[in-house]
Amino acid sequence: MIDLYTWTTPNGRKVSILLEELGADYTVIPVNITKDEQMTPDFLRISPNNKIPAIVDHDTGTTLMESGAIMIYLAEKHGRFMPNDPKERADAMQWLMWQMGGFGPMLGQAHHFGHFNPGKAPYAQDRFAAEVKRLYGVLNTRLEGREHICADYSIVDMACWPWVSRYEWHGVDLADFPAVRAWYQRLLARDAVQKGYHVPKATGDIPPG
């Protein structure tokens, strides 16, 4: 049994989507970051960086923070959604690191300056808006002629998809990135993606793309 500490953010949804795809037994423990619940001593013992998501795997006694590390751990534990072939695995790892190091953080900055605080820092707002469109372009190029970001459906798709699901917050029209849009809608049709999106609670309809 896994305890999942999470909230309704792209990083949280990555892990809940993966857990749903795996059909794993897990208990959801909401951590309301709008009320600073991530700063409580109990949560900091699990996630010292005071960020969601985090997990406690009672089967192995493993406690983990950082969504990318959690996804690799779960994929390896279950032997699913991560390639075994060394070349394909390296390819998947590079795109997962791309999401962790660029696609997520830069889109998150765009949320902060453009969605939540528009007009307060025009330079930052413009800078991150431009970077968002560049990154969407990178992903679009990668997806041209592909069903998935890597060889098969993997944790890389699950890591990127929840960020794209906030395309409206990014000021992005997915029609400008047709390969991304087609991929986004393919994943949206998956039951596990829809279920995982609404963890720990439903927040309205998923944007259709």
In a domain, residue 47? The reply is yes
Let me know whether 21 and 53 are in one domain: yes
Let me know whether 108 and 178 are in one domain: yes
In a domain, residue 196? The reply is no
In a domain, residue 209? The reply is no
Residue type, 37: E
Residue where a domain stops, chosen among 43, 78, 113:
78
Domain hosting residue 108, numbered range: 86-190
In a domain, residue 68? The reply is yes
Contact between residue 196 and residue 20 where contact means Cβ atoms under 8 Å apart: yes
- Give the domain CATH number at 92: 1.20.1050.10
Residue 186 structure tokens? 């393919």
Contact between residue 86 and residue 93 where contact means Cβ atoms under 8 Å apart: no
- 3-state secondary structure at position 146: coil
Report if pTM > 0.75. yes
- Mean pLDDT by groups of 10 residues along the chain of 209 residues: 98 98 98 96 96 97 98 98 97 98 96 92 95 98 98 97 97 97 98 98 95
In this predicted structure, what is the pLDDT of residue 77? 97
- Give the domain CATH number at 20: 3.40.30.10
**106, 172, 209 from 175: Cα distances, Å:** 21, 9, 8
Let me know whether 21 and 65 are in one domain: yes
Let me know whether 100 and 168 are in one domain: yes
Contact between residue 123 and residue 115 where contact means Cβ atoms under 8 Å apart: no
What number of other Cβ atoms are within 10 A of residue 54's Cβ? 27
DSSP assignment letter at 90: H
In a domain, residue 163? The reply is yes
